[in-house]
Amino acid sequence: MAKVLSVNLARARTNPDARARGVMTGIDKVATPEAAMVRAPGPKRGSGLVGDAIGNQKLHGGDDQAVYAYAREDLDTWETEVARPLSNGMFGENLTTVGVDVTQARIGERWRIGSDGLVLEVSAPRTPCRTFAAFLAQDHWVKTFTRAGKPGAYLRVISPGAVRAGDSITVDHRPDHDVTIALAFRARMSEPDLLPTLLAADALSEEFKAYARRRAGANGR
């Protein structure tokens, strides 16, 4: 059964990236046994989960990145790759899932979670940053993460509600296009010729849409 394996909230800490000393980050997330309320935070106004923390709100959080989900199955694969244990939340995800192919989720796909009315919509893949690499202490991590093509998914809040470990995940709606998390990630990170195809997904995050349009315009000149 597809479900939420754990709900993870940040322990705010100093950014481990040497070029961001003194700046706080919320990448270090740990599982909570309690239910967490999820609601739209507003444009670039932090996390969608009450009690979570976002460090750099210019790059993270806001309505289009309200919730970050990552599959436990992919974390298990990474454990072998990096030769170390990876606890739930260690990739900075709010929801560690099981039984969900997050990588092949379509942009605009809607997940009904639990029984409290929570509905989330897939909006974009995660793109790796220096903080992520520094936190894991992995050399060349951005390239390694990009090559693997398993970025996890950002989701926006369609209907607010509480989420807790063990909640079921049901796909309520799957749009009629082929723009998946995997495709959007490849387009952004390594195959820019694919960027125009992303615009078929109306639910794509505004940041991704703007990037695709800029690149398409530049290539058209």
210 domain residue, yes or no? no
Alpha-helix residue ranges (DSSP H) falling in 8-154: 72-82, 130-136, 141-148
Q: Write out the chain's pLDDT in tens, 221 residues.
A: 999 999 999 977 777 777 767 677 778 899 999 999 999 999 878 999 999 988 766 667 899 999 999 999 999 999 999 999 999 999 999 999 999 999 999 999 999 999 999 999 999 999 998 888 888 888 899 999 999 999 999 999 999 999 999 999 999 999 999 999 999 999 999 999 999 999 999 999 999 999 999 987 765 53
Q: Alpha carbon of 153 to those of 1, 54, 65, 70, 84: distances in Å?
A: 19, 17, 9, 7, 23
Domain of 69: which CATH number?
Answer: 2.40.33.20
Return the DSSP state at 55. Answer: S
192 domain residue, yes or no? no
Domain count, the chain: 1
Determine the angle formed by the axes of helices 72-82 and 141-148, rounding to 10 degrees. Answer: 130
89 domain residue, yes or no? yes
DSSP assignment of 177-199: S--BHHHHHHHHHT-GGGHHHHT
